[in-house]
Amino acid sequence: MKLKTAGESHGKGLFAILEGVPAGLKLDIAQIDAELARRQSGYGRGGRQKIEQDHVELLSGVRDLTTLGSPIALAVWNRDYENWKEFMAPEGCDVSSRRLTKVRPGHADLAGMLKFGTEDARNVLERASARETAARVAAGEICRAYLKELNVAVTGYVRSLGQVFGGREYTFEEIQTGRRPLLGMMEEAAEKASVSLIEEAKGAGDTLGGVIELRVKGLKSGFGSPMTYQEKLDARIAAALMSVQAVKGVEVGGGFSLAHEKGSAVHDEIFASDGKFFRNTNRAGGIEGGMSNGEELVFRAAMKPIPTLMKGLKTVDFATGRPAVAAPERSDTCAVTACEVVLESALCFALAEIVSERLGGDNMAQVKERYERL
């Protein structure tokens, strides 16, 4: 499978082309829209979410809600474009207005201006914006439907927000049924503490980040390969998760904590019963030697605080070279809940891509038959 997205934050819309989806996969638009709505949810979101009511429009590759085997094109239109048309229209617009030169630390503004030879950070930030992820979530839901046909399920939750941490580990089923809608956390006490923290940050013109945990259940062993570094399952999924805006760290299984333990306390001992292998622990996060081992896949991703601060940080005005305060754009105080949704979608695509490479198949009947034979 291959995925490309296009579109600017305040442009006409966000678009995706997803290639390699086999024919015969039934799609559920309501489910895609539900995930798009979840991407816009979460306490601490900004005013943009009140304007947009994201809805997917399937443009090609689907007939009667069933994939045809041809490239799937989809769109998520920007309602806010009407308010920005005179500044953003591809056909011609006023580029002197809404110009941004007071570059924001932590954002793509300055590096992008230097790279692309522009004196207006808007030419960079409109694409670097996390608004781009609306297209990725829509495409990711198609990939989730593909995985679901193989009984492979993906879920996740907000493990921590700022300095607020959850109290214990959770099973896959607990996460699926117990994730709280306000922030995507698991515990009421942690959620209440996080709401207070967000309010405090909002009052100070500041922002917050957090850690998201992702799980995959039902993936058989042998996906990924140790034969070349490009084929390693953990490397490919880590790259997919790191590609999501504001993610600055990814770990698999026990991750960084394993570096502080002895080998005897780290590696998952192997047992067998009735000719089947199993492990009583899963510190490896379901991946050994760059391959899935049949256990649950476990990933955690660290999202940094959003770099657009309403109070502004010290910077330089690109136009004058003089000290300035970074320009505030309409933004969120905290978008960790949305990041969890996006990371699930990124994970679904990465997994679907890897699975489809091994299984091939022009239609879903072939794919399912080949997976069952593994």
Q: What is the pTM of this model?
A: 0.96
Tell me what pLDDT residue 113 has: 98
Mean pLDDT, the chain, integer: 95
**Tens-digit pLDDT profile for residues 179-194:** 998 999 999 999 999 9
pLDDT in tens, 232-260: 999 999 999 999 999 999 999 999 999 99
| pLDDT per residue as tens digits for the range 193-234 | 999 999 999 999 999 999 999 999 999 999 999 999 999 999
- Residues 313-333 have pLDDT tens digits of 999 999 999 999 997 776 789
Q: Which of 301-305, 310-314, 336-340, 344-348 has the lowest mean pLDDT?
A: 310-314
Sign of CA pseudo-dihedral 153, 360, 277, 286:
negative
Two tokens, residue 25: 């996969």
Specify whether the CB–CB gap between 362 and 153 falls below 8 A. no
Max Cα-Cα span within the chain: 74
Both tokens assigned to 374: 């593994």
Query: pLDDT digit string (tens) for 73-125?
Result: 999 999 999 999 999 999 999 999 999 999 999 999 999 999 999 999 999 99
User: In this structure, are strands 291-292 and 287-288 parallel, antiparallel, or unpaired?
Assistant: antiparallel
Q: Which domains does the chain have, with CATH numbers?
A: 2-373 (3.60.150.10)
* Tokens (6 digits) for 245: 């805006």
SS3 95: coil
| C-alpha 121: how far from chain center | 24
330 close to 35: Cβ distance less than 8 angstroms? no
pLDDT level of residue 312 (50, 70, 90 thresholds): confident
